[in-house]
Structure 1
Amino acid sequence: MAEKKPINWIEVLRNYVQNKPQRTAQEIDDETDQLFLKYIDDAKQKEEQDDNSYKKIPKFFQKALLNEHQLNFRVRQEARTRFLHHKTSEILDKEDLEKLWMLLKDNISPPNDGKERINYNSFLTIASMLPIKCRHFFSASTFLKFDRDEYGRIDIIAFFHSIVRKVNLFQTRIQISLYDTIGNGYLREKDLENYIFELIPIFAQLQNLQENFFPFYVITAVRKFFFFLDPKRTGRIYIKDMLTSPILAELYELRQDRFTVEELSQNWFSVQSTQKVYQKYLKLDTDHNGLLKKSELQKYSWGLTNIFIDRVFEECQTFEGEIDYKTFLDFVLAMENKKTPQSLQYFFKILDVYHKGAIDTFVLNMFFRPIVQKLEQKDKYGFNVEDVKDEIFDMAKPSVPHAITLQDLINCGQGDIIVSMLIDAKAFYDYDQRESGNYLDMEEYDYDF
């Protein structure tokens, strides 16, 4: 009996692929979408067969897959990662953008008046000469979004810049989404820490960052995102909120090679700024236990009153009566950005002593009397508590008389001044003397570290 020859599977598969009709990437994507919708529909019909209530009440809760060791979690994560990498191939690269720009320059529409503009016919001609992945930028609705001159032409520079911005935004979205380990469209603190940690070697302005400072840099950077984009402290930041936030743009500015010293000092994410904040924390920590007690935080600024510091420790997370570096960063961000709604929310929580949702006359008295006492210690007299209370109510314009809510502080446009008047003796004195220019000298009163 003759021996059977072993099957050459490589050759069999090669012949199968060669003989099968070739399809474009778009056709494959379309088929994938159709199969996906079919599987969703089949699953829905099965649910309705198992329980008739699904026919009237749709499923509105899906248990999150948080166990990373479950097979379905890993399969879902792998599928999502492959999907994102596939989407990366749809992003225009440098060559695509250069080709696009050359086609725009070569198809300037008449009349020849020295202006770099194209009409709709040229717009469609250019689209037909580009790869498929470029063509969604050349829809009629896109053309109509730009200002047109009397010849119906749009400016090619404005159009090209809009494409570059969209490409950068899409690329950033995919990069961030790769760190969304759960796949629900948001980043947890750990996810965002991983994302920023891997940006450090890439950004030009972070090349001088010492490796032993990496963990503290990451904590400092992440804190700003969570302070402004997660004011309710849910522990998560939605990716769409990150993309539309100026905070992400501020971080990405560090990709630039050239920066002035002043620009770096104003950027929270720069090496100079993060080290400055961390160094101040270390200087305040006089007992070197890695945490700050009330007496240590009090030295942040001479003008801060005892009652304000007490309330900070009552409302913020503490560890045996002391705050850690993350809580300190929230404090610094609130102090440096008093005009923002997130900072006003932070201070309102502290000022709302009785958790009534409003600051009344009694609370104003409670916070302002220590201000007066602190100034009198420095021989600054003549401040009438009743007059100041009236001025604060006039500034806040509360919807309910003598009861200032958080929304009142935000709407009045002077919430930062009101907060400063109630927590900081120096800030109040400088505001009161703004017309005379008789300000307190910080060198005379500031703490010496």
Structure 2
Amino acid sequence: MGLNIVFLLLLLHFLEELTNLCMLLLRALKPHCRGKLCVCTRPCACAFVGWVRGIPLFLSCIFVPFLFFLSLFFFSLVRIRKHFAMLTFPGFVPLGEKQSVQAACEARRRYLAAHLVPLYANTNPTELWNNIVKYREHSGTDSNDCVETYEELRISYKGYKSMVYNLVFHMTIEEDKAAPASERESRKRLYFSHPFLSPATFLSFPRAEDGTISAVPMYAFAAKRLLLYRLRIKLELTARVVPMVLQDPVSKVAGQLRCPPSASSPLSNGLTQDDIENFLVELVPNLRLVRDIPPWMQPYYLCHASRKFMFMCDTRRTGAIAIDTMMKSDVFSELLRMYESDAQDAITTFPEGCTVDVAASHLVADTGVDDTVAALVISYEGEGNHPDDMYTVKALEEETVLRVRRSQLYWNPGSTEFLTQDVLSMDNWFSLPLMGRIYEHYTSLDLDGDGVLSIDELARYCDSSFTSLVVERVFECHVPHSGKHHVMDYKTYLDFVIATEHAATLPAMKYIWSILDLEGTKSYVTVDTLRGFCKEVASELIANGLMTDISAQSILSEVIDMINPKWHEWVEFDDIVRSGHQATVLPILLSYRNFYAYDCREQTAAEANDEYA
């Protein structure tokens, strides 16, 4: 602001000098006018004198405010540019530095790939727990390495530091003191800057009077971050899409995938669906029950699992997502609920009488590598949850008794009724039984067996409960045309399932919104359009005998009351988001069974209460 005032003072000084110059000109003209100008030319001279006299006033009234605001704009622009230069923009790297930055990124990936084994060794949750037990605070009566309860596990700062040095540097504090000073300083800097095992981690937990902290919460905190650190390394090595900040403009024009930039790690590569599938392949041994997937089913499971990441995280539909976006999503948390840090804990015991699959090569030599046959578990040795435990099974078709290792058994849909709900996890998208049910439904819809679905075949989805208008709009908006045939493949089918099963999420709301937007406005849907969808639902309810006195207007009234739009003639997308009833409103516009379940919700709740009583 001070610079603006200085500039204004200089401008006023300039105008003052200009005024003085004009006054000198007036004085020079006055004697000349008195004696030598004729009558006819005197008015012209006087007019000229008046015009010259008005110049300073004109400049003061017009140009001074204009130049003042221009100066304000100029200095504000300079100040804003200075602030912008202080920020880190994920989408800008100077052209001359692109090659050096890209070389540094490649060097980082090569380093991670070369040091993968020691990095994993230093981030093993099992080793972390063993070191906590080793360096815990011993009580007066605690002379051995066992404790009665987890609450008794406490650790002092001295024990915490010894635990970290042994886990990260593989040495004791005494060995570190005997090392050269340069090495000690290097380890000290790493210890104090460690992302989740620094002294700050110890100080973040409540301490007792003796200065110790509870070891179990600290272990849970560190183990989770160790796991995320290991998964982040895997994703960094798997991602292939070059970030926008390092892409060549020529390659952008050529159609290269443009991954949205990440604010926290703009130089990390992006992930395609194939990259996510490659990442999931490495996690399969640690996923409960998924580790027992039959070989022929694995490609379908990988497509099933990766598709939800792409649907939920790739909101711009660029074909790639940032690593940060994936790891911060609810879908990633859902995946971690199926993950076991120790692969041994992911092995499930198949009880006696359970149906499993075994490789067909145990019965017939000349079969395919991925072929399996169903078998019945007769007995097993040990606890049945170790890869080398022997199982005795009987093939169902040829009634041949076989002895196979636990690692040679595969999951079969018939085993569902023998396993607990915790193992099945049917409410988790990454559950193998849930994936099997969705894939089985897809194959049952495919009447001609060509591997894709037509409009008539998709109309049978969910017992033909979706209205014909909705099915047609799904193909119109979300199924790409492939030549003369307009068919839905498995990936597109999974998008449809995810959208209809998770209608409360923002990507699903956008998916369904495009179905409702018959006019193609992309900003609002008229009430008359909604009446058309309600009319379809009412017709199906009457045709199937579920309701006889229902009308489109009554359904529309329910919908409008729940949405409560800002304008009575149309509904905007923000109205649905603001209503908080998107999980109810959107499904009842698609399926008549959804509206029937909504209309009978009170009766269903009353029956459930009677059963509970």
Same fold (TM over 0.5): yes
Partner residue of 2:478? 316
1:340 aligns with 2:399: no
Picking from 196, 220, 225, the partner of 2:309 is 225
CA contact (8 A) 2:564 2:575 kept: yes
1:430-441 correspondence runs (5 A): 430-437=597-604
The 1:86/1:182 distance shift into structure 2, 3 A limit, reads farther
Query: 1:347 offset after TM fit, Å?
Result: 0.8
Picking from 576, 580, 597, the partner of 1:413 is 580
Partner residue of 1:273? 434
What amino acid does structure 2 have at the position aligned with 1:266? D
Query: 2 CA distance for matches of 1:125 and 1:202?
Result: 30
Query: 2 CA distance for matches of 1:76 and 1:96?
Result: 30
The 1:182/1:75 distance shift into structure 2, 3 A limit, reads farther
CA contact (8 A) 1:284 1:296 kept: yes
The 1:246/1:163 distance shift into structure 2, 3 A limit, reads same
Q: Which segment drifts farther, 140-149 or 155-164?
A: 140-149
CA contact (8 A) 1:119 1:153 kept: yes
Partner residue of 2:447? 286
Q: Counterpart of 1:323 in 2: which secondary structure? A: coil
Query: 1 CA distance for matches of 2:557 and 2:161?
Result: 65
1:295-314 correspondence runs (5 A): 295-301=456-462, 302-314=464-476
The 1:262/1:157 distance shift into structure 2, 3 A limit, reads closer
1:331 aligns with 2:466: no
Query: 1 CA distance for matches of 2:291 and 2:502?
Result: 28
Query: 1 CA distance for matches of 2:283 and 2:134?
Result: 32
Q: Which segment drifts farther, 370-379 or 199-208?
A: 199-208
Structure 2 unaligned residues grouped into runs of 5+: 1-84, 141-150, 170-186, 243-267, 341-345, 350-418, 607-613
What amino acid does structure 2 have at the position aligned with 1:368? C
Picking from 421, 440, 443, the partner of 1:262 is 421
The 1:191/1:62 distance shift into structure 2, 3 A limit, reads farther
Q: Deviations over 1:388-447 (max 9, x none)?
A: 3232222113244443333332332211211122111111122123334499xxxxxxxx
Structure 1 unaligned residues grouped into runs of 5+: 1-54, 64-69, 109-113, 440-449
The 1:105/1:405 distance shift into structure 2, 3 A limit, reads farther
Q: Counterpart of 2:321 in 1: which secondary structure? A: strand
CA contact (8 A) 2:454 2:487 kept: yes
Partner residue of 2:109? 80
Q: Counterpart of 1:404 in 2: which secondary structure? A: strand
What amino acid does structure 1 have at the position aligned with 2:442? Y
Task: Give me the TM-score of the superposition, normalised by structure 1.
Answer: 0.72
What amino acid does structure 1 have at the position aligned with 2:542? E
Query: 2 CA distance for matches of 1:74 and 1:286?
Result: 53
Partner residue of 2:514? 349
Partner residue of 1:376? 542
Query: 1 CA distance for matches of 2:210 and 2:567?
Result: 57
Q: Counterpart of 1:308 in 2: which secondary structure? A: helix
Query: 1:237 offset after TM fit, Å?
Result: 2.0
1:185-204 correspondence runs (5 A): 185-201=269-285, 203=287
Query: 2 CA distance for matches of 1:245 and 1:232?
Result: 15
Q: How many residues align?
A: 373
Query: 1 CA distance for matches of 2:159 and 2:472?
Result: 68
Q: Counterpart of 1:290 in 2: which secondary structure? A: coil
Query: 1 CA distance for matches of 2:203 and 2:564?
Result: 44
Partner residue of 1:24? none
Query: 2 CA distance for matches of 1:185 and 1:107?
Result: 50
Query: 2 CA distance for matches of 1:197 and 1:175?
Result: 11
Across the aligned residues of Structure 1 and Structure 2, the Cα RMSD in angstroms comes to: 3.5
Partner residue of 2:297? 213
Select the structure with the greater relative contact order (CA < 8 A; seq sep ≥ 6): 1
Query: 2 CA distance for matches of 1:152 and 1:216?
Result: 53
Partner residue of 1:46? none
